[in-house]
Amino acid sequence: MSSEFVRPLSLSSSITLPGPASRNEPVDQPKPSIITPKKTDTPPVTFQPAMGTATEFLLGTETVSGAAVAISASEAAPVIEEAAILFANDQMEMVEHVLQTAIREDALGNAALTVWRMLFDLYQILGNQLQFDNLSIEYANKFETSPPAWVESTYIETPAHSAAPLGVTPTVSFSGALNASIVKQLEKAQIMAEKTPVLRLEFARVTNVDPVGCGLLLHILKKLQKSGHDLILVGALELVSKIRAILEVGRRDETEAPWLLLLEILRLLNLEKDFEEASIDYCVTFEVSPPAFVAPKNKVTTAVEEVPFPSLSNDHFSLPPVIMEGTDRLIRSIAAYVADNNPAIIDCTQLKRVDFVAAGQLLTGLAPLSAKGANIELHNVNHLVAALFTVMGLADIVRIVVSKS
């Protein structure tokens, strides 16, 4: 399936964190930490942490909370931040390299345990038990205590793994004009298509279309069909109306793309009668034979039933293994749960990875709930995800309890 798409370079970040190298060295005037992503498939994201935020997790404690007392970060904090962001952007080999290098150099100070636990979690998520066991021996020798235990899991993070288990469908939303500017959304769709057999494309907010945008969308729809993806085309009928608005039977425009996109959408929706009528208009206009109607081989729908996210018990709300961008439904589900529970305990036992952009969306979505007095607690968060949440500022609005297993 993924052979149809070429995977672009993943986002990579350089991180600088203010703070003295030791208590005996002079302290320079602090400068804000800034993450500067390199050019990638998603728009550049600039993050500037609030000065004075809690940094307990970066120094190895097990609970991160916005209510905690802020302390200075150690020199090892940039290692934790860098590894967390690389992991969020699915750069597993680089994460391993960064953490292994930090452990070999053995200059981590109070953050040593956190760095070791991040590497343990990485091997656990990747299903690499051999490396996990080797690290366990080193850990026991160094710290003279028992290492974390290996936990058998049905989920293993791989490039081909579905990025949206448990009903979380990767979504790309189009809004405004469907024109040349949709290239960014289409790039995201290609990246998501590598990781999931189902993709949701939303067109309900499209206001108008032009031939260039029609051609670009037509190209990606054909690739997704060829690669065997199931599609959820939300607002597809509304998009059909927008396309028809720029067409006129008998008028030959510079490109046939809008007509061909119209026919393709009608075919995907299995609307054979409408397809045949549009085919006749196309034939009259261009005096060529129209494409033949062929029912789609894979599942194509115009909406998806939104199954509630599963809870482990009546007083726990659980998150899925991977959270990608397009978190609107997840945030709505959390908000509904928070409205009936105080404190709201969100279980992250199954959560393995959160995409960098999705982490920002979670921050934006949960901040209003926190501002209204909601007490939200994320329990059993692995160390890689907890570090990302700390970097993004999520620890300032919710309580994060790191997994001890």
Tokens 């261009």 found at: 286
171-301 and 317-402, same CATH topology: yes
Beta bridge partners of 178: 209
What's the pLDDT score for residue 293?
94
What's the pLDDT score for residue 320?
85
- Average pLDDT (67-71) is 28
Q: Name the 3-class secondary structure at 168.
A: coil
DSSP E strand boundaries for 45-146: 63-64
pLDDT exceeds 80 at position 169: no
State how far the Cα of 228 lies from the Cα of 223, in Å rounded to an integer. Answer: 9
State how far the Cα of 177 lies from the Cα of 230, in Å rounded to an integer. Answer: 25
What's the pLDDT score for residue 170?
80
Write the pLDDT tens digit of every residue in 327-385: 888 888 899 899 888 899 999 998 999 989 889 999 999 999 999 999 999 999 999 99
What's the pLDDT score for residue 71?
25
Write the pLDDT tens digit of every residue in 208-248: 999 999 999 999 999 999 999 999 998 899 999 999 999 99
pLDDT category at 64 given cuts 50, 70, 90 is very low
Amino acid identity of residue 31, one-letter, is K
pLDDT exceeds 90 at position 141: yes
Whether omega for the bond prior to residue 18 falls within 30 degrees of 0, making it cis, is no
Residue 292: both structure tokens together: 């033949």
Can you state the angle between helices 183-193 and 211-226, rounded to 10 degrees? 0
First to last CA, the chain: 35
Write the pLDDT tens digit of every residue in 6-31: 443 333 333 333 333 333 444 344 33
Q: Name the 3-class secondary structure at 183.
A: helix
Beta bridge partners of 209: 178
Residues 6+ apart with CB under 8 A from 164: 170, 195, 196, 198, 320, 322, 324
Tokens 């790191």 found at: 402
Q: What is the dihedral of CA 122, 123, 127, 128, to 10 degrees?
A: 150
What's the pLDDT score for residue 322?
85
State how far the Cα of 296 lies from the Cα of 16, in Å rounded to an integer. Answer: 51
CB 356 within 8 Å of CB 11: yes
The answer to whether domain 317-402 has CATH 3.30.750.24 is yes
CB 54 within 8 Å of CB 70: yes
Q: How many CA atoms lie within 13 A of 291 on its CB side?
A: 18
Closest CA to 79 of 16, 142, 129: 16
What's the pLDDT score for residue 323?
87
Q: What is the dihedral of CA 158, 162, 165, 168, to 10 degrees?
A: 130
pLDDT exceeds 50 at position 319: yes
Q: Where are the domains of the chain?
A: 2-143, 171-301, 317-402
Q: Of 56 and 222, which is predicted with more confidence?
A: 222
State the CATH architecture for 171-301: 2-Layer Sandwich (3.30)
Closest CA to 229 of 296, 329, 326, 155: 296
pLDDT exceeds 80 at position 266: yes
What's the pLDDT score for residue 168?
55
pLDDT exceeds 70 at position 57: no
pLDDT category at 157 given cuts 50, 70, 90 is low
pLDDT exceeds 90 at position 258: yes
User: For residue 40, what is the DSSP state?
Assistant: -
pLDDT category at 172 given cuts 50, 70, 90 is confident
Beta bridge partners of 230: 198
Write the pLDDT tens digit of every residue in 186-213: 998 998 888 888 888 989 889 999 999 9
Q: How many CA atoms lie within 13 A of 351 on its CB side?
A: 29
State how far the Cα of 379 lies from the Cα of 349, in Å rounded to an integer. Answer: 7
What's the pLDDT score for residue 153?
66
Burial class (CB in 10 A: 0-12, 13-18, 19+), 83: buried
Write the pLDDT tens digit of every residue in 128-137: 999 999 999 9
pLDDT category at 40 given cuts 50, 70, 90 is very low
pLDDT exceeds 50 at position 159: no
Q: Given strand 171-178, what is the order of strands in its sheet?
A: 171-178, 198-209, 230-234, 300-301
What's the pLDDT score for residue 397?
93
pLDDT exceeds 80 at position 175: yes
What's the pLDDT score for residue 41?
42
The chain-wide mean pLDDT, for the chain, equals 78
CB 399 within 8 Å of CB 374: no
State how far the Cα of 405 lies from the Cα of 403, in Å rounded to an integer. Answer: 6
Percent of the chain exceeding pLDDT 90 equals: 51
Label residues 167-196 b or e (16+ Cβ within 10 Å = b): bbbbbbbbeeebeeebeebbbbbbbbbbbb
Q: Of 321 and 120, which is predicted with more confidence?
A: 120
165 membership: H or E segment, kind and range: none
Write the pLDDT tens digit of every residue in 97-107: 999 999 998 88
* Least confident residue range of 40-44, 250-254, 279-283, 296-300: 40-44
DSSP string computed for 304-351: ---PPPP-SBTTBEE--SEE-S--HHHHHHHHHHHHH-SSEEEE-SS-
Amino acid identity of residue 129, one-letter, is Q
State how far the Cα of 269 lies from the Cα of 296, in Å rounded to an integer. Answer: 8
